[in-house]
Amino acid sequence: MAIASQAAKTLLFVDDEPSFRDFVARSLGVNGYRVVSAPHWDEARNMLRKGNLTPDVIFVDTLSLKRDLREVVGETASTPVVVLSADRDAASIVRAMRSGARNYICKPVTPKEIDRVVSEMSAVSDVESRAASVPEAVTHYNPRPDFVFCSPKMQQLHQMVMQIADARVPVLILGESGVGKDVVARSIHRNSRLVAKPFVKVNCAALPAELTESELFGYQKGAFTGADIDRPGKFEFANGGTIFLDEIAEFTPGVQAKLLQVLQDGRFTRLGSNQEISVDVRIIAATNRRLEEAIRNGRFRQDLYYRLNVVTLDLPPLRERREEILELSRYFLIKYGQEFKSGVTSIPHELKDAFMAYHWPGNVRELENTIKRFMVLQDTDAIRQELEARTSKQTSAEIDALADTYIEASDDDLDLKEISRKAALTVEKSMIVKTLNKTSWNKWRAAKELRVSYKTLLSKIEQHDIKPAMY
């Protein structure tokens, strides 16, 4: 795999493993890179100070540095630093990015991955210099990895993201509101060859139906009252890059037909014009609805669904990946630390327990907003009580739904004892789930808090068929 475009690039690797330094020297050297390596940072710093080495990218294994990463980043001036590490823990990645690293690669690493990262680093400065001239709806590559995860489900999804990033096929992202569909879409773009090209997000639900076509495909002068000039649409702004259509199920039949044409042959016409425009755009679509039901109800075209559904990514809600709640909380603390200047650097234990016990119907977005509120108010008790009140309200709603179901299903006289028994079981199950989540599924501790024996708790868990992935 020759990489002629990178022939002039110089890469500095700081790693204490001789076998790894030999590997990058051989594999990247034949691909046109100039590779320089050092076993530790002191030696690398001496080479940089001599003035005969000006690397384009510096790759460092944090274990080889023997010093704080912030200090290393501070000594490299404007040269981007990329961390190489066998540590895949999300907290480690966040700490590295917080310390100033421009990217983070998990070992084992391939020459292709290194080439991709070097290309991204080269693209960033050019993209930033052109950002001011790009329309507001268009954003470009952000070198900070906002895709934070640690659960097995999300690890599998991230692996699929990496596999499809360079495959120019449509992607359909499914998931509840707030699960991170936007983050996944941007990650696909950021890890693709289109990284230096536009990324245009369109919130389909926010567009008035009568303006959707003109926003997406543009309009010709005189197409309607007030159309005084020709105006390109979002697809033209995204030409050469990626367009992300969020909540695509909201499109009208007419817009769906036009979108199908773009997917089939890459052509469309502006509103009020007969001249076809060709674009080369990767389409990523997302929805919080099940499109199969919309197709049965006649609200979504089946042929469009099949065109979009080449690759489908189904994001699990936050309640099914509870091990990420605290990791994401720490990430948001870091992310908004400078913005809010609150001095908050950690989450109190009692608030962590409340986080783990809460159901998070609003998913990651709700968690993010809760962290923001905590950083501004710094009132642990108020936020904890708010989350507990929401949990109690949800339990009450479940009991009301149970009562309604029982009344509707009963042909005979109501049995108050049976209703009470089922309501009690509902509350019991809710309390067990809440306590298990609060104790991070430490069953011994949960049994102690519930004041039952360990054996009784195990029996109740089996009786209610409670599983970690369910809550």
What pLDDT score was predicted for residue 428? Answer: 81
Q: How far apart are the first and last CA of the chain?
A: 47
- Give the distance from CA 448 to its chain's centroid: 37
Look up the pTM and report it.
0.58
In the chain, what are the domain boundaries?
Answer: 4-133, 138-316, 320-470
DSSP for residue 320? G
CA distances from 466 to 352, 460, 463 (A): 22, 9, 8
d(CA 184, CA 175): 11
Shortest CA distance to 249 belongs to which of 184, 175, 187, 316?
Answer: 175
What pLDDT score was predicted for residue 132? Answer: 34
Q: Give yes or no for residue 99 having a pLDDT over 80.
A: no
The CATH T-level fold of domain 4-133 is Rossmann fold (3.40.50)
What pLDDT score was predicted for residue 137? Answer: 37
| Residue-averaged pLDDT of the chain | 81
What pLDDT score was predicted for residue 470? Answer: 44
What pLDDT score was predicted for residue 88? Answer: 65
Q: pLDDT for 224-260, tens place per residue?
A: 777 788 888 999 999 999 999 999 999 999 999 999 9
What pLDDT score was predicted for residue 234? Answer: 93
The residue length of the chain stands at 471
What pLDDT score was predicted for residue 223? Answer: 79
d(CA 157, CA 183): 12
Residues facing 203 on adjacent strands? 246
3-state helix, strand, coil in the chain (%, to 5): 55, 15, 35
Same fold yes or no, 138-316 and 320-470: no
Furthest CA-CA distance within the chain: 92
What pLDDT score was predicted for residue 416? Answer: 63
Of the options 3.40.50.300, 3.60.150.10, 1.10.760.10, 3.30.70.1450, the CATH number for the domain spanning 138-316? 3.40.50.300
Question: At residue 11, what are phi and psi to the nearest 5 degrees?
Answer: -120, 135
The mean per-residue pLDDT over the stretch 432-447 comes to 79
2: confidence class by pLDDT, cuts 50, 70, 90: very low
The mean per-residue pLDDT over the stretch 109-122 comes to 78
Q: Give yes or no for residue 58 having a pLDDT over 80.
A: yes
What pLDDT score was predicted for residue 410? Answer: 52
453: confidence class by pLDDT, cuts 50, 70, 90: confident
d(CA 144, CA 149): 14
Q: pLDDT for 120-146, tens place per residue?
A: 666 544 433 333 333 333 333 333 456
What pLDDT score was predicted for residue 471? Answer: 44
Looking at per-residue pLDDT, the higher value among 174 and 79 belongs to: 174
- Give the distance from CA 460 to its chain's centroid: 36
In terms of phi and psi (left: phi > 0; alpha: psi -120 to 50; beta: otherwise), the region of 270 is beta
Residue with tokens 């449509």: 170
What pLDDT score was predicted for residue 451? Answer: 82
Q: pLDDT for 351-370, tens place per residue?
A: 888 888 788 989 999 999 99
What pLDDT score was predicted for residue 122? Answer: 67
The DSSP code sequence of 215-242 is HHH-B-TTSSTT--S-B--HHHHTTTSE
The mean per-residue pLDDT over the stretch 97-107 comes to 75
441: confidence class by pLDDT, cuts 50, 70, 90: confident
Tokens (6 digits) for 442? 């430490």
Domain 320-470 has what CATH class? Answer: mainly alpha
